[in-house]
Structure 1
Amino acid sequence: MSNPFGIVSDEAILEGRATDAYFERTRATLEHAGRNPRVVAEVTADQFPTGEFEVFAGVHDVATLFSGRAVDIDALPEGTLFDGGPVMRIEGPYLEFAELETSLLGFLSQPSGFATAALEARLAAPDSQVLSFGARHVHPAIAATVERSALLAGLDGFSHVAAGDVLEREAGGTMPHALMLIFGEGEQDAAWTAFDEAVPEDVPRVALVDTFWDESAETLLAAETLGDRLDGVRLDTTGSRRGDFRHITREIRWELDARGREDVDIFCSGGLTPETIRELRDVADGFGIGSYITGADSVDFALDIVEIEGEMTSKRGKLSGDKQVYRTADGGHEVRLADQPAPEDGDALLEPVIRDGEVVREADLEAATERCLADAETVGFGSDH
């Protein structure tokens, strides 16, 4: 089988085949009519600032998609928080990019949604370790997109091995319930000991302690079994058996501390949300969050022509004219026509990405993360919690 998982190929995306059919009909029509005007098109989610900020992600893939096309592109730097106005501007002959619109919007919409949810999780426990555990909830082909979005938003790591290969980062993780079940009830100590003997020294010794018995009982057995080699314990109790998760976590902390094991961290996972993380952040040391990130709504971006051959135009409900957006000193987000003066205290946000088909701004994930966290503080993202 040449395509066993039915995945749209890189070649189809780059050639413009990963598109909606009406763009092919549009090309045929315009070529028949001999029309290919120079246009300015903008990607927006909201026309005016709304006060509800989201994280902009996916610019690096758009740059790859448009490389070699005779267009100019400006965009917000990746990691910028936005709440309205254009996030990207494309200028060039329309038929240079007509069929790329579908892929372009996909490259921006879903990663921006993932990154926004991940930022909510990050800020729910800013002083704790927070990891992305959600790749199992999406198609394997986009696992690296999930994990990259999580890193962009400031999460400390992720679990997906192949995504780590793509991102050149080491995936993290210790043991699943399957390992404990295979050793069986009453053999938890054997499972933890075998794990300790088998895995590399740089892998944290974090014991899963909620498989068969009371969580405190398994925790104390793990501490006795591994001694000073135990770095932490993980609670991944299913919701139907969890009870008061905060109370369980506090109880474990008490029992460990009472035996002089303040050094053992408590890590929580399993259906967590920013709200549940906030409830636990003073009694747990780290969190794994999955479906909250992968289940995030995509940002509803659209691409619209706003200028044709230098003349302002737009469809109904959209704002005509080439624009610039600004971040003001008070964290505001302001939209103006590109030929209007900038606000006195405003910094222009749309910056060159492509000039005549050449990529002029390379992706920098670390810089994007720094920008995301700084922007979150500037605009007050998550400040109501």
Structure 2
Amino acid sequence: MTEFDIVGADAIASGRATDAYFERTEAVLEAAGRNPEVVAEVTADQFPTGDFELLAGLKDAAALLSGHDVDVDAIPEGRLFDGGPVLRIRGDYLAFARLETSLLGFLSHASGMATAALDCRVAAPDSTVLSFGARHVHPAMTVAVERSALIAGFDGFSHVAAGDLLGREAGGTMPHALMICFGRGNQEAAWAAFDETVEEGAPRIALCDTFSDEKDEVLRAVETLGDRLDGVRLDTTGSRRGDFRHILREVAWELDARGHEDVDLYVSGGLGPADLRHLRDVADGFGVGGTVSNADPVDFALDIVEVDGEPVSKRGKLSGVKQVYRTPDGGHGVGLADREGPADAEPLLEPLIRDGELVDGREFDVDAAAERALADADRVGYGDEEA
């Protein structure tokens, strides 16, 4: 027994983090003396459907497959896809058979969260958007949550340990618990204590909805912190919000009337893309939680499409080695890799691993992935129908 229910990195790397039938498959093939060279592809949809998704999790996938005698091609992290493979493996089947479970988990979960985060990012393109969803998942998953959000273009996140591993500082100010510990009627004392205690580099953003009307607490926070107040956050429980857009407009009006129009308004608590679109012109920033961390994984599968040079597939899947393309009009194309692709189209699958080694120049920089994601979203018109 371990202290926490966490499958460790050693079990993942060794292939122990697998489904039992892969272990039995290995035993059967070894006993039969069969180990064909195959090409296997990771795919969600066989053909384009018009619904793009964002690829994430490739860093972990590359780490998993490196060191095994395989060649791997993949779409770069941060690109959008719509049908066809996102990753392709060529090698003897037993070189990677037991890695399938972890490989799909890395790609499916991260891509689902990144896609949900992109939905929020394009819903409020000019706003600050922060990831607040770590509390909804197993602690071992928090780095994947925050990294997926960053790949989609989020501006920051809240989880401290995830920040340690990502090399970035987590952000956040105060919870309702802090306000409640100071007691009803003592909001000013809580805000002042925060200002006096927390390092100068941290923004002074006061939580202003704990005990009384949002407008009342906002004005009291301004009176308490004056020019040191950078912003206010409203995290009002849904049952008490009423017309939240009207509340934000009212707060902004009162701040402006008193010469504090430079105080930013931040909103959090159960927000999704529709909320961000509805509030983006009356709020400066948003904290998004469960919409990202609770997102459904992308339903990837790994299928063998070639055995010893011959095309093959199970029923319902497409045989043969494939390439996917970004077409000049922003579409997504799928075709056989040994055929000419659409005119002037950009092939998306690129070398990732050769002979078990990561290809020189392939990198997993989060900022570069976010740039690709936002550029690709603009190119394919991602989210335009929701504007």
With the shorter chain as reference, the TM-score category is over 0.9
Using the TM superposition, give the Cα deviation of residue 377 of structure 1 relative to its aligned residue in structure 2, in angstroms. Answer: 0.6
Q: Which amino acid aligns with 2:112?
A: G
Q: Which amino acid aligns with 2:275?
A: T
Q: Which amino acid aligns with 1:330?
A: D
Q: Which amino acid aligns with 2:341?
A: A
Deviation digits for residues 40-84 of structure 1, max 9, x if unmatched?
A: 000000000111000011111011001110000000010110110
Match of 1:172 in 2: 171
Using the TM superposition, give the Cα deviation of residue 28 of structure 1 relative to its aligned residue in structure 2, in angstroms. Answer: 0.2
| Aligned equivalents of 2:52, 2:230: Cα separation in 1 | 37
Correspondence list, 1:237-248, <5 A = 237-248=236-247
Q: Secondary structure at 1:90's aligned position in 2?
A: strand
| Aligned equivalents of 2:96, 2:233: Cα separation in 1 | 49
Correspondence list, 1:6-21, <5 A = 6-21=5-20
| Aligned equivalents of 2:364, 2:270: Cα separation in 1 | 32
Using the TM superposition, give the Cα deviation of residue 342 of structure 1 relative to its aligned residue in structure 2, in angstroms. Answer: 2.0
Q: Which amino acid aligns with 2:379?
A: T
Match of 2:4 in 1: 5
| 1:366 and 2:384 matched | no
Using the TM superposition, give the Cα deviation of residue 362 of structure 1 relative to its aligned residue in structure 2, in angstroms. Answer: 2.5
| 1:253 and 2:252 matched | yes
Q: Which amino acid aligns with 1:138?
A: V
Match of 1:24 in 2: 23
| Aligned equivalents of 2:85, 2:221: Cα separation in 1 | 54
Q: Give the TM-score taking structure 2 as reference length.
A: 0.98
**Structure 1 portions without partners, runs of 5+:** none
Using the TM superposition, give the Cα deviation of residue 242 of structure 1 relative to its aligned residue in structure 2, in angstroms. Answer: 1.1
**Structure 2 portions without partners, runs of 5+:** none
Match of 1:379 in 2: 380
Q: Secondary structure at 2:224's aligned position in 1?
A: helix
| Aligned equivalents of 1:47, 1:122: Cα separation in 2 | 27
Correspondence list, 1:13-162, <5 A = 13-162=12-161
Deviation digits for residues 121-142 of structure 1, max 9, x if unmatched?
A: 1111111100000000000001
| Aligned equivalents of 2:241, 2:355: Cα separation in 1 | 57
| Aligned equivalents of 1:246, 1:381: Cα separation in 2 | 25
| Aligned equivalents of 2:197, 2:355: Cα separation in 1 | 54
| Aligned equivalents of 2:80, 2:363: Cα separation in 1 | 19
Q: Percent identity?
A: 71
Match of 1:290 in 2: 289
Q: Secondary structure at 1:202's aligned position in 2?
A: coil
Match of 2:355 in 1: 356
| Aligned equivalents of 1:120, 1:161: Cα separation in 2 | 25
Deviation digits for residues 332-366 of structure 1, max 9, x if unmatched?
A: 11111111012221111000110010011231211
Q: Which amino acid aligns with 1:215?
A: E
Q: Secondary structure at 1:87's aligned position in 2?
A: strand
Using the TM superposition, give the Cα deviation of residue 277 of structure 1 relative to its aligned residue in structure 2, in angstroms. Answer: 1.0
